[in-house]
Amino acid sequence: MKSQTFRRRSRLAAPADEVFRWHARPGAFERLNPPWDPARIESRTGGIEEEGARVVLRVGPLGTRWVAEHHGSVPGREFRDRQVSGPFALWEHVHRMEPDGEDACILEDRIDYALPGGRAGALLGSRVVGALLERMFAYRHRVTADDLAAHVVCRGGVPMKVAVTGATGLVGSGLVPFLTAGGHEVIRLVRRAPRGEGELRWDPAGGVLDGASLEGLDAVVHLSGENVAGGRWTDARKARLRDSRILSTGLLARTLASLKRPPKVLLSASAVGYYGSQGDRWLTETSPADDDFLGRLAVDWEAAAAPAAEAGIRVVHPRLGLVLSPAGGALGKMLLPFRAGLGGVMGPGTQYMSWVAMDDLLGAFHHALVHEDVEGPFNLVSPEPVTNREFTKTLGRVLGRPTVASAPAFALRLALGEMADATLLASTRVRPAVLLETGYAFRFPTLEGALRHLLGKEGE
């Protein structure tokens, strides 16, 4: 059996021991999982340091089963995994961290692999597999370097104990692995029966939350809220959108305010819908709220956290823009039509879209948690918003697809009613003034750079 070798090396500004620990913690696999074609974990036993520990994955568009086994760990320096069963005839992956001075190391991923089908399989598939590995490990090394750089501000400090609501949503499912891989402990507040020590049940609609279980937390991140774009805005749906935000935020804030040992900080999500549609006018955290449904909702949503602030907890309101991730949200919905060559401008195309890449959202949340000078509202958007026409052209260029289709404003209004004007057709040109003033460095300030990273198209 003739094998082939893939190798990627990167210099990281972190000691080898620290890079090894990052890989060994819960959440590291999820952070390294490419969002454009993620593997799904079916089961897992043990960690990278445990000889014979296994992980069972479902990979690829057909959900092929892949069983990998860890072996040959050298603590602080390397670990290995090999395929027990799966799509390859051979797969042996060595993750090595070589010290390069006191505060840096060389991260090397080396994979020896063979494709099924002998020489014919190698001839037909080697180029495709090689390209896939290049995309995947360019992404993985970028994420590793950037996450370690973000967590370096806590190096030598005490890890935080953080409670997170909405942990299974698009943002929460990215935030939890980011925090745990960084060494923090996460407690998930869930509405079903808890499935382990890391979960606590609450019922915002019923006003149920056990305050004693929250004593001694360092921080709380509140992400709960029904999806604004999840359906046409009937009166009943508007009421649900309000209740899912106001009731949960009020219950959480009152409970935290009553604690003997309250957290130092509460991050309670909000949205740039606060500002409404303002054409090409630049908007900052000091701009007034609009008087439409989303504006009033955001005002009341933020106000519901007042009891926590009155109790001396630092309350921060990240006003989220359009969160970009192929795993879900708006970008996830766009990919199918755009890849089919059916993407195009919505409405006039001149409306501004204030967006943020998922990795910057996570980095900015972490920045707000550890920087005490971040308080009150802050705009969680890229410093370079774009018009809908620019967004359309950029996504088409990254995917290599035409973007000649269009969706007229009247058709969007006919299909979605009031929601069309408040979301798809609204022009919100937002500047992240607080983030920039407090020293946050964006990983992906430009749309094309963000999309190429998220879709595995860097270097193309």
Q: Is the pLDDT of residue 155 over 60?
A: no
C-alpha 387, offset from chain centre: 23
**CA–CA gap between residue 185 and residue 180 (Å, rounded):** 6
* Residue at 68: amino acid letter: A
Q: How confident is the model at residue 367 (pLDDT cuts 50, 70, 90)?
A: very high
Write the CB contacts of 445 (distance below 8 Å, at least 6 apart in sequence).
382, 383, 384
Q: Mean pLDDT over all residues of the chain?
A: 95
How does pLDDT run across 169-219, given as a tens digit for each residue? 999 999 999 999 999 999 999 999 998 889 999 999 999 999 999 999 999
Q: Is the pLDDT of residue 98 over 90?
A: yes
**CA–CA gap between residue 123 and residue 116 (Å, rounded):** 11
Average pLDDT over residues 399-412: 95
**CA–CA gap between residue 305 and residue 311 (Å, rounded):** 11
How does pLDDT run across 43-88, given as a tens digit for each residue? 999 999 999 999 999 998 889 999 999 999 999 999 999 999 999 9
Q: Is the pLDDT of residue 41 over 70?
A: yes
Write the CB contacts of 13 (distance below 8 Å, at least 6 apart in sequence).
103, 104, 145, 148, 149, 152
Q: Please name every residue paired with 90 in a beta bridge, in sequence order, or none if there are none.
A: 114
Q: How confident is the model at residue 244 (pLDDT cuts 50, 70, 90)?
A: very high
Write the CB contacts of 96 (distance below 8 Å, at least 6 apart in sequence).
77, 78, 106, 107, 108, 109, 110
Q: Is the pLDDT of residue 452 over 90?
A: yes
Write the CB contacts of 335 (distance below 8 Å, at least 6 apart in sequence).
326, 399
Average pLDDT over residues 387-403: 98
**CA–CA gap between residue 356 and residue 383 (Å, rounded):** 9
Q: Is the pLDDT of residue 337 over 80?
A: yes
Whole-number pLDDT of residue 122: 67
Whole-number pLDDT of residue 197: 86
Alpha-carbon dihedral angle through residues 139, 144, 148, 151, given to the nearest 10 degrees: 70
